[in-house]
Chains A and B, each alone.
Chain A
Amino acid sequence: GNSVTQMEGPVTLSEEAFLTINCTYTATGYPSLFWYVQYPGEGLQLLLKATKADDKGSNKGFEATYRKETTSFHLEKGSVQVSDSAVYFCALSLGNAGNMLTFGGGTRLMVKP
């Protein structure tokens, strides 16, 4: 079956520190990969995505590269801000009927001033 594994949190960083959140996946086929972010008290919103191997998704200073050889899609940011404090979810979709997403367990990021 399909699955997504993320590093467990919480991840606590100081402002301007470098961020990496690991994500690996198992899929039967060639998935599209996503990072969603959930700010406190809100629903999820798409942060970035990549649809094929070696694609790099980027948004708001965050980046992730689709690595087929290591089945990974790690999220990185060079300098985090307090406003980046949120829960981050890695997800995959096989584009079958319904475009269903399989989510990882989520990683809580806390950034201290």
Chain B
Amino acid sequence: NAGVTQTPKFRVLKTGQSMTLLCAQDMNHEYMYWYRQDPGMGLRLIHYSVGEGTTAKGEVPDGYNVSRLKKQNFLLGLESAAPSQTSVYFCASSYFRDSDEQYFGPGTRLTVT
């Protein structure tokens, strides 16, 4: 099992450019999540999905869109990148049972100049 994988690992964008981050999991998890991690602020939830074809907003959704067309994949899109979106992005997945742990990917470091 590869667990949760993220593509790419690093990316530098110019302001206004767009990109898509890909998350894939091979554990047949129902739930998937996108977080951003900024110094001193812990992880903040951007969007999440409770199943194939469903998405919902988290704490900081503005400027991001997501899609879950296949159960194993969860895509995070930035349509027009801004310097405030410079961050480390983590994808996670979990089963649907209460208190189940979330399994995290290795992260994508994004810099917007």
Contacts and interface: CB of A to CB of B under 8 A. Distances in A.
Interface of A: 4, 32, 34, 41-46, 49, 51, 89, 93, 95, 97-101, 103-106
A4 B59 CA distance: 14
A104 B96 CA distance: 23
Contacts, number: 62
B107 A43 contact: yes
Interface residues of B, number: 28
Contact of A89 (B42, B99, B106): B42
B101 interface: yes
A62 B16 CA distance: 45
Interface of B: 4, 31, 33, 40-45, 48, 50, 56, 58, 90, 92, 94, 96-107
B56 A98 contact: yes
Contacts of A4: 42
Contact of A49 (B33, B58, B97, B99): B99
27 contacts: A4-B42, A32-B98, A32-B99, A34-B101, A43-B104, A43-B105, A43-B107, A44-B92, A44-B102, A46-B101, A46-B102, A51-B98, A89-B43, A93-B98, A95-B98, A95-B99, A98-B31, A98-B56, A99-B31, A99-B100, A100-B33, A100-B48, A100-B58, A101-B102, A103-B44, A105-B41, A106-B42
Contact of B4 (A43, A51, A100, A104): A43
A75 to B, nearest CB: 15
A49 B97 CA distance: 14
A43 B3 CA distance: 12
A89 B96 CA distance: 22
A95 to B, nearest CB: 4
Most buried by B among A95, A99, A106: A99
B4 A93 contact: no
Contacts of A42: 106-107
